[in-house]
């Protein structure tokens, strides 16, 4: 936890404020503590480049050249993933070739400041945004492991380094560089293993998307689009345009017109999570599941514990994010994970999640796989509601159709999600 590396003074004196350039922000008085000899990140950098903005007028639908945004770097990811949310096709004449190579580290200096990724291969057709810094170092996987650690990230919370002032000040942040070769080898192996697993997860997700899309495309049809009527608005109890647009209706109709039919999940199969009144978060023998530790790719980012009297997860279940401020345009609402009770034990999920448990394990895995596919990611983009944060209600999920795929298709999807 950050508390292990950051010391917060109990008293701040006037001369401390003067020495702090008269900054009154509480964060600027935090001190990073350590037990080992530290080195600055700058001492490892051989060269670096700051990207260049191309302007939204250069964004196009298809292109052989792509633009990497800083918002595509997430705390749970170690490598760059070329999803449509992570890169933008741009006009080829606006492309600037930074010769991005395997082993390069990309760090965000804007938006989600400090988040970084390591490139596992060359990217000759990608350029970087103005909010991205590319650095080259001799031991990229070792350095990547160290700057991903909370010790390094905690330094962004002090010294006035904010979203608008980050620039390259973080080059002077300290990292606890190991003295022993075996320690460096261990860090390198761990980071390479994480990168390999992330790539496998994305490859399986890509294959899942292909299977789902091809099966629906080959064995279904899209109903002709028609503008909404008053009866549609009355039945849906919504006037927002999302669920009446052509893309949303096409996605729903191709599922409902699937040759083997479709099924829905009744309201009695859903239950909401809850936050116990009496609890100690961070300690205990029960898992504490919240939307914040669920990856957009359908796995738990980290392990959190809680001490409380109750527990609402007592068997295998599918957990669905129903309310979150992560991402935008419903991009994270509806993300699901399969919670394996025999593997993970009792748990408590909070009110940001819906739970489905009264199904066989294979059915729960299938539902999870479908909800995380691009088809359903696009559905939730239009289905979600809310002004402060994106949200989906149980009554909306009860209307959501799931195709009755044959056993051979389901078997392949289950192999991808369980291996």
Distance, in Å, from the CA atom of 316 to the CA atom of 318, rounded to the nearest integer, reads: 7
40-184: CATH superfamily: DNA methylase specificity domains (3.90.220.20)
Query: Picking from 30-34, 106-110, 196-200, which range would have the lowest pLDDT averaged per residue?
Result: 30-34
pLDDT band at residue 164 using 50, 70 and 90 as cut-offs: very low
Query: Picking from 80-89, 96-105, 274-283, 405-414, which range would have the lowest pLDDT averaged per residue?
Result: 80-89
Same topology, domains 40-184 and 267-418? Answer is: yes
Over residues 172-225, the pLDDT tens digits come to: 888 889 888 999 999 999 999 999 988 888 888 889 999 999 999 999 999 888
267-418: CATH superfamily: DNA methylase specificity domains (3.90.220.20)
Angle at 124 between CA 121 and CA 128, to 5 degrees: 95
Instruction: Show the tokens assigned to 415.
Output: 């192999």
Q: Give backbone dihedrals phi and psi of 116, rounded to 5 degrees, phi first.
A: -145, 165
Distance, in Å, from the CA atom of 406 to the CA atom of 143, rounded to the nearest integer, reads: 47
Whether the pLDDT of residue 329 is over 60: the answer is no
| E-assigned strand segments in 163-290 | 174-175, 262-263, 270-272, 280-289
CB neighbour class for 309 (10 Å; exposed up to 12, middle 13-18, buried from 19): exposed
For 231-240, what is the mean pLDDT? 70
96 three-class SS: coil
Q: What is the per-residue pLDDT for 43? A: 94
For 96-109, what is the mean pLDDT? 94
Q: What is the per-residue pLDDT for 32? A: 59
Whether the pLDDT of residue 401 is over 90: the answer is yes
What rounded mean pLDDT belongs to the chain? Answer: 85
Distance, in Å, from the CA atom of 355 to the CA atom of 269, rounded to the nearest integer, reads: 8
Q: What is the per-residue pLDDT for 3? A: 47
Domains of the chain, residue spans:
40-184, 267-418
355's enclosing H/E stretch is strand 353-356
């Amino acid at each position: 936890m950050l508390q292990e590396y950051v010391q917060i003074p109990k008293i701040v004196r006037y001369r401390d404020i003067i020495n702090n350039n008269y900054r009154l922000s509480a964060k600027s008085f935090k001190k990073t503590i350590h037990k080992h000899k530290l080195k600055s990140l700058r001492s490892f950098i051989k060269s670096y480049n700051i990207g260049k903005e191309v302007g939204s007028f250069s964004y196009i639908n298809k292109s052989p050249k792509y633009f990497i945004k800083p918002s595509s770097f997430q705390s749970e990811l170690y490598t760059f993933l070329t999803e449509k949310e992570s890169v933008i096709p741009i006009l080829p004449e606006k492309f600037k070739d930074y010769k991005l190579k395997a082993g390069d580290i990309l760090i965000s200096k804007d938006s989600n400041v400090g988040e970084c990724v390591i490139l596992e291969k060359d990217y000759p057709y990608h350029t970087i945004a103005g909010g991205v810094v590319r650095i080259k170092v001799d031991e990229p996987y070792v350095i990547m492991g160290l700057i991903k650690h909370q010790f390094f990230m905690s330094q962004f919370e002090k010294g006035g380094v904010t979203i608008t002032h980050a620039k390259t000040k973080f080059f002077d942040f300290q990292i606890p560089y190991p003295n022993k070769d075996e320690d460096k080898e261990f860090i390198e192996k761990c980071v390479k293993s994480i990168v390999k697993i992330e790539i496998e997860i994305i490859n399986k997700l890509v294959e899942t998307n292909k299977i789902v899309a091809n099966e629906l495309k080959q064995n279904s049809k899209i109903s002709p689009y028609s503008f909404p009527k008053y009866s549609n608005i009355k039945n849906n109890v919504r006037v927002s345009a999302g669920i009446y647009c052509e893309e949303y209706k096409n996605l729903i109709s191709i599922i409902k017109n699937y040759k083997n039919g479709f099924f829905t999940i009744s309201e009695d199969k859903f239950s909401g999570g809850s936050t116990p009144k009496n609890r100690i978060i961070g300690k205990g023998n029960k898992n504490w599941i919240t939307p914040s530790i669920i990856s957009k790719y359908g796995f738990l980012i980290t392990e959190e514990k809680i001490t409380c009297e109750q527990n609402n997860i007592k068997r295998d279940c599918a957990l669905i994010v129903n309310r979150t401020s992560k991402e935008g345009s419903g991009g994270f609402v509806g993300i699901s994970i399969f919670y394996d009770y025999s593997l993970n034990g009792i748990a408590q999920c909070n009110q940001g999640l819906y739970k489905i448990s009264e199904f066989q394990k294979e059915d729960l895995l299938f539902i999870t796989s479908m909800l995380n596919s691009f088809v359903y990611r696009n559905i939730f983009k239009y289905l979600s509601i809310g002004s402060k944060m994106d949200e989906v209600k149980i009554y909306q999920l009860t209307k959501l159709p799931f195709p009755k795929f044959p056993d051979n298709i389901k078997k392949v999807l289950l192999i991808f999600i369980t291996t």
